[in-house]
Amino acid sequence: MSGITGYSVYIPRHRLSREAIAAAWATKAPSGSKAVAHFDEDSLTLGHAAAAPLASGVEALYFASTTAPYWQRSAASLIAACCDLPAEVATADFGGSLRCGATALRAALDTGKRAVVVASDTRQGAPESAEEMLFGDAAAAIAVGPDPGIAELVAAVSRSDDFPDEWRRDTDAYVQSFTSKFSTARGYEANVVAAGRALLEQAGLEPARIARVALVSPDGRAHLGAALALGIPAGRIEDPRLADVGITGAAMPLLLLAQALDRASAGDYILVIGYGDGADAMLFRAVRNGDRRLAPDPHGIPYPSYQIYRKLRDYLRLRVGGAEVSNVLWEREETQNVRLHGTRCPRCGLVQFPIARVCSACRNAEGLVEQPLARRGRVFTFTKDFLYEAPIQPTVMAVVDLDGGGRFLCQMTDVDAGGVEIGMEVELVLRRMRESAASHHYYWKCRRI
């Protein structure tokens, strides 16, 4: 029976306190903060960060988001290329509903293939709205296969419901909703409870047998009522992370499932329900104890004010211009710039980047071999550029000695310029570099590990 073989979560390092939002609008705020994408991040880069640790050797990669950067271009295919997956890997994009992450997971499980499902969202609530306070940014990835190593699928149920409680049109910048008790009861609770009951009936299990519940929540509270209606004690429900991450849209069911897997013991039944225009519910049984590895990132970066957050959030969107990259140039340099391949000299063993025709060490021009580069390394040297046009000054430019060879020049991100040191361990991350009149442009930066 198919099941889960791995999981990964990526939460942006930047945080915005709800008090800072409230101060900007002279209103009251719920407690805590929310995770927010940096100015060079979007749902695609978050998705890549979550998917990359699980992508080796898979046969398919599915990407789910309600905020994908392209309406007609496959984000899944770009993520697969940045993970250096072969062209034979099947890719698919899911969207249109908050439950698209759970839907993509069920679709992958139905294929029986070795696949990675990644869900990511960077939704924006309208200024001065409750959604602006609650929405957070995050990505989560689940690896599945025919031989589950972590948890096996026991049962699955889907439910469709055309009920307008929350939506975003093609012309809308912000999520819209009918915020009311009726919307929560009719749109959320009715679907989640119906799907949960149908799933338990299909599996022949009593609610008391469920050890962990990954239950999405539209507001950080409604999931408790849904669990009560299902007969599941509150102590078994995964924390939706409202206080430190926020309501994470399509990523939420996979994020909470990863959290439940991390804490589960062998034999535990895990219930996950994704909500949005209906519900997708899945029941898993843990095969082994969880890894206990989803520790908080020690490098959290608070935004000093709401105004600075808005400035950075809108920076790339408002700076459209510059020359386009032709598809001819893209084709010629895709293995180098997207897949991160360099060349190795068979004579002296030197690894170079960019791809070279002549070895810079021994001047050999025969038989240089293209090979993938490692995504981790150490800072060899760096400089602080105060002239480069960027929303945060200075821009730190670093030369990174990659593990296994190769030297890479790139910008640093998610870093305090005063804390950069030679020898610092870093990882390469995919980030949004700039906008043009018709496209988004991505490239690699590095950040401290």
Q: Which fold has domain 3-313?
A: Peroxisomal Thiolase; Chain A, domain 1 (3.40.47)
Closest CA to 10 of 142, 113, 127: 142
| Distance linking the first and last C-alpha atoms of the chain | 37
Q: What are phi and psi of 119, to 5 degrees?
A: -120, 140
Listing DSSP states for 17-70 in one string gives EHHHHHHHHT----SSEEE---TT--HHHHHHHHHGGG-TT-SEEEEE-SS-S-
Report whether 401 contacts 380 (CB < 8 A): yes
Sites in the chain below the pLDDT cut of 50: none
Q: Which tens digit of pLDDT belongs to each residue from 153-207?
A: 999 999 999 999 889 998 898 999 888 899 999 999 999 999 999 999 999 999 9
Where exactly are the structural domains of the chain? 3-313, 327-448
Confidence (pLDDT) at 439: 82
How high is the pLDDT of residue 298? 84
> Cβ neighbours of residue 272 under 8 Å, at least 6 residues apart?
102, 213, 214, 215, 253, 256, 257, 260, 281, 282, 283, 284
Which pLDDT belongs to residue 291?
86
Q: Containing H/E element for 312? A: helix 306-313
User: What single-letter amino acid sits at 442?
Assistant: Y
**Same CATH topology for 3-313 and 327-448?**
no
3-state secondary structure of 278: strand
Q: Which helix (H) or strand (E) segment is 262 a member of?
A: helix 252-263
CB atoms within 10 A of CB 320: 12
Cβ–Cβ under 8 Å, residues 76 and 70: no
Closest by Cα among 65, 106, 99, 64 to 187: 99
Q: Cis omega (within 30 of 0) on the bond before 164?
A: no
Q: Specify the CATH number of the domain 327-448.
A: 2.40.50.840
What digits encode the pLDDT tens for the residues 41-98? 999 999 999 999 999 999 999 999 999 999 999 999 999 999 999 999 999 999 999 9
